[in-house]
Amino acid sequence: MGGGNRGWEVPRQDGRRFVVTGASSGLGLETARVLAERGAAVVLAVRNPAKGEAVAAALEGDVSVCPLDVASLDSVRAFAAEIGPIDVLINNAGVMAVPYALTADGFETQLATNHLGHFALTNLLLPQLSDRVVVISSDVHARGEVVLDDLSWERRVYKPFGAYAASKLANLLFLLELDRRLRASGSDVRAVGAHPGSTATAITGSTGNAFKTWVGSWGHKLAGMSVRKGALTTLYAATMDVPGNTFIGPDGFLEMRGWPTEVERADRALDADLARGLWERSEEMTGVRFPL
């Protein structure tokens, strides 16, 4: 769309408490670093607590660590029961194009990590959340297909990048229905989406295919942004006064790089019936329901 917020800086966040999932590396770590520097209390919600503690020790400000594996519903429930009141939840953790596997809960790994875990976490935390939920998606959502009766790819031929795109579409369908439910309930909490464009992170490192990992890594390095700049869309969505159901992305060519601005999403990400259907299936699969 263009017209991004060039030169924009994150405003002070004193007195506000943020949870950032997947905050021990990449975009999550950079998001947490900036928020802490701007005065926020930041919880690093990480799968590896030892790695999280090492990261926290290197950051300035009020930073704490709490174990969370979003691919495990037991871990999600334990985290939600312990974390206490927060202002902002940033659903950042994710995996990309990994080989087919099922989690302990019986869900395809990308669906579980990128969507179902954050679906459950968000709904469990809503009663103690005061400001907003930030849902991290990808421009790849436009190539995704959500099949409600085969979300875990048990009947279809598994395609790693297809499953990734489907999970990123699921993120935006979740955003759409969450926003509708929050408005209908009269809640002051808002749901906002963001995507980082093409950013040089290690997310392509788990594909199980050395060539695809190499191509993905160098593609992001050549065409994309630094992690520092790539995190700006998330930070904008998390800190600026934008309406619920806003989607923030880079303002440059094909939304691959640039400064944060409001961007469009694919028509299928605005399908209210599909969003409602996915929500109902997600409730069935996780056993977690909208609490408001």
Q: Which residues are catalytic?
A: 164
Residue ranges of alpha helices (H) inside the chain are 26-37, 49-57, 73-82, 109-110, 117-125, 160-185, 210-223, 227-230, 232-239, 272-286
Helix (H, G, I), strand (E, B) or coil at 14: coil
What distance in Å separates the CA atoms of residue 119 and residue 113, rounded to the nearest whole number? 10
The answer to whether the beta carbons of residues 67 and 75 sit under 8 Å apart is yes
Please give the torsion angle defined by the CA atoms of residues 74, 76, 81 and 85, in that order, rounded to the nearest 10 degrees: 180
What distance in Å separates the CA atoms of residue 12 and residue 40, rounded to the nearest whole number? 8
The letter for the amino acid at 74 is D
* 196 conformational bin, left if phi > 0, alpha if psi -120 to 50, beta if neither: alpha
